[in-house]
Homo-oligomer: A and B are copies of this chain.
Amino acid sequence: MTTIYDVAKQLGVSTATVSRVINGTGRVSEETRDKVKAIIAELGYQPNQIARTLTTKKSKLIGLIIADITNPFYPALARGVQDVCHSAGYDLLLCNTDEKASQVHRYVFNLCQKQVDGIILQVFAPKDLETIEVIKSAGIEVVIISYINDTSLTAIYSNEMEGAYQATRHLIDIGHQRVAFLNGPKKSSISVNRLKGYKKALNEVGIKVDEQYILYADFNQAGGEQMAQDILKINPPPTAIFAANDLIALGVVQYFEKCNIRIPNDIALVGFDDIELAHLIRPKLTTIANPKYELGQTAAQQLISRIQDPTMPNSHIVLDTRLVLRDSSLVRKEQSL
């Protein structure tokens, strides 16, 4: 491996001079600068980032801790993070936790040892907040990508409540009175916020919230199938379903297909997230667009700003959702239910 010492020796200058031209710091005569550059090119010398990090305390590394890159929600988010990081000269360490607190801990620990400059953390459980202390006390910047009730932290999230409101309100507006809500896990903060939006819409138009119509399961296809099955047992059954995410909606679609229940004719359906498959399944899914890529981008921007200026005030940035009308929710006109 060729070191800074090699190029210095080759030219009879000091390593300090070479370091200066590499970093563009301090004054170096144009002449020496050119010579140094030439030798660097000739030797194919690349500065050792590790050594650099040891002295400067800047690793140019950012950790991204998410649930599972295999979940269709995350690739776009990760890409948003990556694009911003990369153009700012940072590299991305990817960590999949499967929402396990123990994994979150482990990764956080690991990233701290690796001296990352910052961490973008998706928090799932209140327990994850402890790890935030670990991060902060290691002097590492952190940005949360989940709703969090703590203004001493920078957090980026989409307007879950508003999105859920839009979805529910849409179903009501097209004539539905009995709207079920197939939610994610009860303790998830995402579930909590989406539930709020659902209730808000119902309250607004004076429909009483019927707890029978609110089910909980995992945020995936299996959860959706399970709840689809269960909701049919309620009497009277709902005429519309708001699924807390597209994967749950997908499960509903798959289960109803088996039962020959037609969407939207028999039951209307709205999802949440607008992942790729929402417009690929049949019927095309009406859903709430969740700005995944922008979430990643914004989180990365905030984090990098904080790395560059740690005194920056913390902020919460809320990104807007949007109703995307497709075929799974047909307009019912003047129809008695």
Contacts and interface: CB of A to CB of B under 8 A. Distances in A.
Interface of A: 1, 44, 46-51, 53-54, 59-61, 68-70, 72, 74-76, 78-79, 82-83, 86, 91-96, 109-115, 137-139, 250, 276-277, 280-282
Nearest to A78: B69
B54 A115 contact: no
A69 B54 contact: no
B1 A139 contact: yes
Contacts of A75: 69-70, 72, 74-75
A138 B96 contact: no
A79 B68 contact: yes
Contacts of A69: 69, 75, 78-79, 82
A113 B96 CA distance: 25
Given A75-B69, A93-B91, A50 B46 contact: no
Nearest to A253: B280
A113 B277 CA distance: 39
A86 B69 CA distance: 14
27 contacts: A47-B113, A49-B113, A49-B115, A50-B50, A50-B53, A50-B54, A69-B78, A69-B79, A70-B76, A72-B72, A72-B75, A72-B276, A78-B94, A79-B96, A82-B96, A83-B96, A91-B111, A92-B94, A93-B93, A93-B94, A94-B94, A276-B277, A277-B280, A280-B280, A281-B281, A281-B282, A282-B282
